[in-house]
Structure 1
Amino acid sequence: MRRSSVFLVAVATAALGVGVVDAAAEVPGRQEVYAAAAAEFGVPDSVLLGVSYLESRWNVNSGTPSTSAGYGPMHLTDVAAANAGGSHHDGGTEDPRGDTARPTLLPEPRAVDLSSPTLRTIERAEDLTGVDRATLRTDVTQNIRGGAALLAHHQRTLGIDSDDPADWYGAVARYSGATDTDTAAAFADEVFATIGQGADRVTDDGQRVRLAATDLTPDTGQLDALGLRETRRSEAECPRGLGCEWLPAPYEQFGDGDYGNHDKANRPQSQKIDYIVIHDTEASWQTTLDLVADPTYVSWQYSLRSADGHIAQHVKAKDVAWQAGNWYVNSKSIGLEHEGFAAQGTWYTEAMYRSSAKLVRYLAAKHRIPLDRAHIIGHDNVPGTIPSTVRGMHWDPGPYWDWGHYFDLLGAPLRGVGNERAGLVTIKPDFDRNRPAFTGCDATGEPCPSRGSTSVILHSEPSFDSPLLKDIGLRPDGSPGTMHISDHSSRVETGQRFAVADRQGEWTAVWYLGQKGWFHNPRSAPTAVWSGGLVVTPKRGLDSVPVYGRAYPEAAAYPEGVPAQAVVPLQYSLPAGQKYAVGLVTGSEYYYAVTFDSANHRVVRGAMTYVQVQFGHRIAYVNAAEVDIRPSFSR
């Protein structure tokens, strides 16, 4: 009997076993597909479901690859098919350091290293199943079979013959692709924790899948048989239970007084850390490590690998990395780069989400950073420094980073407060069902694959046919925004809070970039929840107030020997009568660090106070002396 026939018999048997057979159905349900693949290859059903959940949450992601070239629910990697070359970072003009006191730093695009075997697991799955790679990528049933075959192969390699899920710890750790002990263990521990807790959800293509909670104690001693290297934790600043190693970025001089690739500091004693910035690397893992090891390049505090959630730290939290394109934000933040090399806006693995959330929760507690979207921000939320830099700022991690799920993992779920009189809304669409019609993922003007998103689109009127809003920073000619994947002219994101400007039927309007932006918000399927908080509005008598991209001190605050940095407003303004949600109130600061010798570095603090607001897609700052801060529900 051919293997495909065996599989069909297994599907029928599995379906009979759970009592959900539909005689008229030609295609088995996803639950039955998992059961059949597990039975065919001798993998415990719970193990197969647990591994798949940690890779993809059982989603199919429209057949598109993850950021590390993984396809389908089992994350079979095929880098040759996924890598389109280039990245959204290649096209930007952002200076990662973002400090006009130093010469502009514009890194050159680098070649992508695609040699890692973890980026080619589909080749082994092809050998084991006899199914070609194109089918393994696109056919969900065959993808699940391929993952089951890989797990069974890893179990055979270990020489273990058992149908007890507790005896599959080593095979699960091997499936992660991790090369160090801590990361392999962290991945396997998460899989078995998922098995212990159980899971039940509807996938992004509408399939109900359940994993019954099972109390078991896995044989963690199997990890020793994998022959993995010990994790180089050394000085890494990470919580226990994560695969985290210390791979320091170089702090070196290289002629003419120049140096890189970060600045020494003494945070939080010298400056409070207010932000954690979420990036994606737009490079493969090895390329990412090569880049941050280059003293002439740029830096960030942490890198996170997609397939298994492995973490590498490069810059201490006390020091300032050159990562966000805004020197004020750099000096007040910690940057996390998440592996990804395709510019198409692909999906992120559950393993990476979980490692990232554990790390951010640890850092936030250590540095007293609130777990909200005013402090945990994307690179795409960082403002330009002055008008000329606004257009070149980067847009990662993009509209497919699941902020709602991420905050659930952080233990700070996004919730509403009050009712329609609360005055604010928190953007919160259903990620899987919210599918904006973006374009340009693969080619300019071409529709992107349909997939879940955290972005909600704003219109100039309460109608889908009305134009999008205008962002004069991105389009100085005053033309409206577009649906191109990188164009956030008229786009709000999950977790962001905005002041309500108006309501009509199923539409809600918020204040955005000085305009009234409308989004569809029906009661039956809301895309936002009511929230309370503080808002700012210009003081009485002011027609508008300037908006800034950094909270720099007034000129009089700079001591001798430290050049004053101009307080330059952006091209936007906050008009009278409009309200914007307050993120934080902060004093003015500038970190003067233009020499290799950190003894010459200074923190300049001024008398000015700023209020951070959610002004558009990006945050911004206004002078506290020019605005009134009041409760959002006040009239």
Structure 2
Amino acid sequence: MKLRILLLAGLLVMSGQQAATASAESSPLADAFDRAASGYDVPRDLLAALAYAETHLDGHRGEPSASGGYGLMHLVPKALEEAAKLTSTPADRLRTDDAANVLGGAAVLRAKADALGMDASARKDPARWYAAIGAYGGAKSTANIYADAVYEALSSGFQAKGVSVKPQPVQPERGEDYTPFAAAAVDYPGALWSAASTSNYTAANRPSSAAINKIVIHVAQGSYAGTISWFKNPAAKVSSHYVVRSSDGQITQMVREKDVAWHVKGANTNSVGIEHEGYISDASWFTDQMYRASAALTRNIADRYGIAKTRSNIVGHVEVPGNDHTDPGPNWDWNKYMSYVTGGSGNPHTPESVCGSGFKIIDSQSLGSAGTVYLLYNPANGNNCVVTIKHTSLGTATATSAFLEVQGSPRTTDSGNFAYYAGPVRAAAPDKCVRWGGSAGSSTYTSPFEHCG
């Protein structure tokens, strides 16, 4: 009898361990992705990466995004209607039921693949889905950036809401027509350019026509690609000057600063608007890379227009009278953000102090959270200067570099383990283009040949 009790107890312990293991490896949402992927022959991790890029797997209690998308899979009205037909599921359920929403998203994605002629063999290869994912995004003008965001999530891997995707770098088949966003016609060096619809802003000639004295911080209630797509839609009747990506701080300008973006009602005329990818209810969107990149943009705008770097001039959408929005919300870390705006990284050195008297910043690039590389110019002697300023591991010697290459001449690099900065690397480049960049931690940047003459 005693032996029987011991054996039974052992079985119960084993059963509990197995249940715990099963619980750790699965969840209702993970099961939903498994079923949807299997049912519609879509790569499971790619389907989950699409949802993560759109919503971080947050259905937002059935509330739509700013661009009208519902649920984890961000089903916009046209896609919602298509999903309802393909899955024979009522639209109301697709909006509010996570499992139904995932199934609907898988059905729509598979329909896009079928329209492109993908056969069973092609569907097994995640690299072959690039065009279908772009089509799922709904706008040809942002199809590339939409698909790139999904493959970036797949490459990095993630864990969210009980769903786990291991990092799996995939080189997507982008096709011959692939064109990245342009890096021209921007007011902020390093930003990409993708014009908002002319139906969504007012052409002007600021600051001659109106002073620019405020910078307004927004959270988009949507993804980076979705926000860009929405501002390009003539029906939106909204826009912002800039959009900032969560994962790495990439910035896209959509309205020139001289023009009036429609982002904050009565305060549009005198302000610059900056949208940030994400949702106010989910702090996971507000990465250090996003804070640093946005703060560098805000600092640049403030310096160019003589705006004091204070909270009375750098405000949230919710703080502007006459507006009913609540962004950037309680999860936005204003203390951290303003410390970055005012240069409070803790590094006692600045690009100007390292390069010397007479040098002014003309370009910069964030190196993730580890630092920023700067290009400076001295009009008095015609010299360029590059310096990388560290933001982390200050006072500790870590791998950091800065380089400057004048077109037609060998590259000069300062590389090593430094406590605060790499550089300065100086060179004259009369009537020549320069390539510049550097590294801090695991992040690197190399510019094209630019700033010619």
Tell me the residue number matched to 2:144: 185
Number of residue-to-residue matches in the alignment: 306
Tell me the residue number matched to 1:264: 206
CA distance in 2, matches of 1:148, 1:129: 10
Query: What amino acid is the match of 2:206?
Result: K
CA distance in 2, matches of 1:20, 1:215: 27
Tell me the residue number matched to 1:146: 104
CA distance in 2, matches of 1:173, 1:216: 16
Cα contact 1:169–1:222 (8 A) shared by 2? no
- 1:411 CA displacement: 12
CA offsets, 1:27-55, max 9 Å, x none?
95211221221122111122111100111
1:313 aligns with 2:254: yes
Tell me the residue number matched to 2:43: 44
Cα contact 2:82–2:108 (8 A) shared by 1? yes
The structure showing larger relative contact order (alpha-carbon pairs under 8 Å, at least 6 residues apart) is 1
Superposed, 1:399-548 pairs within 5 Å as 403=332
Tell me the residue number matched to 1:529: none
Cα contact 1:196–1:216 (8 A) shared by 2? yes
| TM-score, structure 1 normalization | 0.38
Tell me the residue number matched to 1:210: 164
Superposed, 1:311-390 pairs within 5 Å as 313-314=254-255, 316-318=256-258, 324=264, 331=270, 333-336=271-274, 360=294, 363-364=297-298, 366-367=300-301, 376-382=314-320
Query: What amino acid is the match of 2:171?
Result: T
1:302 aligns with 2:241: yes
- 1:212 CA displacement: 1.0
CA distance in 1, matches of 2:168, 2:296: 29
- 1:64 CA displacement: 2.2
SS of residue matched to 1:245:
coil
Tell me the residue number matched to 1:394: 323
Closer, same or farther in 2 for the Cα pair 1:60/1:250, shift >3 Å?
Answer: closer
Query: What amino acid is the match of 1:31?
Result: A
Tell me the residue number matched to 1:278: 218
Closer, same or farther in 2 for the Cα pair 1:194/1:186, shift >3 Å?
Answer: same
CA offsets, 1:145-181, max 9 Å, x none?
111111112122222323122221111111111221x
CA distance in 2, matches of 1:246, 1:275: 19
For structure 1, list consecutive stretches of 5 or more residues without a partner in the other structure. 1-17, 78-118, 252-259, 293-298, 340-344, 385-392, 418-635
Query: What amino acid is the match of 1:54?
Result: A
1:245 aligns with 2:195: yes
CA offsets, 1:192-212, max 9 Å, x none?
1111111123x4xxxx22221
| TM-score, structure 2 normalization | 0.52
Closer, same or farther in 2 for the Cα pair 1:286/1:240, shift >3 Å?
Answer: closer
CA distance in 1, matches of 2:132, 2:172: 11
Is the helix fraction higher in 1 or 2?
2
Tell me the residue number matched to 2:131: 170
SS of residue matched to 1:71:
coil
CA distance in 2, matches of 1:159, 1:351: 35
Tell me the residue number matched to 1:122: 80
CA distance in 1, matches of 2:251, 2:138: 10
CA-atom RMSD, angstroms? 5.4
SS of residue matched to 2:159:
strand
Closer, same or farther in 2 for the Cα pair 1:67/1:200, shift >3 Å?
Answer: same
Cα contact 1:184–1:243 (8 A) shared by 2? no
Closer, same or farther in 2 for the Cα pair 1:215/1:319, shift >3 Å?
Answer: closer
| Aligned residues with identical type, % of pairs | 25
CA distance in 2, matches of 1:264, 1:358: 26
1:62 aligns with 2:80: no
- 1:126 CA displacement: 1.7
For structure 2, list consecutive stretches of 5 or more residues without a partner in the other structure. 1-18, 222-226, 346-453
- 1:128 CA displacement: 1.8
CA distance in 2, matches of 1:353, 1:178: 27
Cα contact 1:199–1:212 (8 A) shared by 2? yes
CA offsets, 1:56-106, max 9 Å, x none?
1001212222222222111112xxxxxxxxxxxxxxxxxxxxxxxxxxxxx
Tell me the residue number matched to 1:99: none
Cα contact 1:301–1:317 (8 A) shared by 2? no
- 1:136 CA displacement: 1.5
